[in-house]
Structure 1
Amino acid sequence: MKKIIIGAFLLGSCVTINAQFNLNKALDVGTKGLKALTFTNADAAKLAKEGVDWMDKNNTVAGPKDPYTVRLNKLFAKHKSQDGLNLNYKVYKVTDINAFACADGSVRVFSSLMDIMTDDELLAVIGHEIGHVKNEDTKDAIKSAYLKAAAMDAASASSKTIATLNDSQLGAMANAMLDASHSKKQESEADTYSYDFMKANGYDVVGAYRAFKKLALLSEEGGAKQSGFQKMFNSHPDSNKRAEAIKKRAEKDGLWKDPGTVTLPTTKLTK
């Protein structure tokens, strides 16, 4: 499996992991005129779809009969229409550990995340990403990514039109989307959405606690594995604190069940 790019649930939203995308042609440009361009939710969804379509073409996507796809279908098929959102989902077969969702309703789960997460833990991760979409956290990130990819300055952006991007620009926009980050407030609100999603659908909310504890363990690993992952955690809320917030709410709701010591599995949970 290949590497992809880091940063969603751990994380952010349509923003993900320092991966092995083929970005040699990506543009290295600054962002100007961010406020000059009129940018609607429809624009955000359109550009997000274009960026995700580019990523789908440049990463290994699990096929319909692949065990990863079969498992995700069992878990998530009934949530294709969730809270007014029309969602589509796929699995990227990559070595990095993450998941992300975008303004167009695209949800992408990384196979290596599925290898270490139980079903309830995965649902909590996906619920968090859906929360970012529902809360429109990705809109500004995509707007900024678009302007970077199109190399727009204030003057060109003032035309208030969304230009068509070429392949190189789409790659640059995808990279910028994945490098974006959310505020602590946005992350907290997405955590709350995930908890409410789990509770409303009768899932084990303690799965969200376990997911954060596993992410905390990953961030504490040393050696070569840690480098890219640690950089991501340095720019996101502390996973242990997020786990404790989930625990307090579950206790208040009478839904807390002590999972004991949370550890990382030594064998893949998807086979």
Structure 2
Amino acid sequence: MTADKMTPQKWAFQLTHILNAYAGLDRFPVDVKAVARDFSHQKYPDDPISMVKGAALPNFDGGLYKAPPGKKGWGIVYNNDIESEGRINYTLAHEFGHYLLHRNDYPDGIECGEQDLVRWDSAYGQIEHQANVFAANLLMPLDDYRLQVDAKTKVDLDMIGSCADRYGVSLIAATLRWIEYTENKALIVVSRDGFILWARSSKAAFRAGLFIKTANRPPVAVPQNSLAGGQITSESQRVGVRLPERVWFNEVCEEMVVFSEQYDFAISVLQFDRDLNFYGNNDNLRIL
């Protein structure tokens, strides 16, 4: 099957099947450097990934670069100013996804900034979305993630942090993966300097009308009485607190928050009662 017919999920599933066959489920975190080199040399011996390294990339987190004239293949380069091993590992998987999916359409290579790696919505850019889908499925297979955190479980950030450690990814990547499959009503909200950058809802939350729109809208302020708005202590930060209605939405919720130095923003996780059944007009929501 050619690259243009393979989806991000199919590439990730193929690699997961190979890794499971050789190492089983106790094989995490994925060694992306080794997998990218070995698989590309076997699959595309005339056009492999021949280099994976860190370098000075002041405006980017990572990139996929064509080898210089006289040499064959591609190089994956990550910003060597990044200190988080989880962020580096996710960047490598993201660029590996670009190699498998997009190198023929972008023969001069692709460079990716911070937002390309942390925003997973397809509207942000189709190829970046595809690379993120590949990276998430390769590094955090859902069958294994569900064994760590059941889809009905109410989480805290220590639980998500344990998964981030298991898969060798950042806390935000692990949280986004969890929000994809949880059956609970939950949101992840990312903010900086008192304003919401973007948010993502679980399927159950979205169906209940619990979502925050930020695209093509004026800046949305973080609620003053929320943890992300400054009402935070060291005890409440990761375990969370129960907030009354009309703080985030017209419903009671639990909020946890962690301030990420590596990305310079706050990550809030909102969880709502399972029996919440909201089907009203979106104008009734606290934030849109």
- TM-score of the two chains, using structure 1 as the length reference: 0.34
- TM-score of the two chains, using structure 2 as the length reference: 0.33
Identify, as 1 or 2, the structure richer in strand: 2
Greater relative contact order: 1 or 2 (C-alpha under 8 angstroms, separation 6 or more)? 1
Decide which structure has the larger Cα Rg and report it. 2
Identify, as 1 or 2, the structure richer in helix: 1
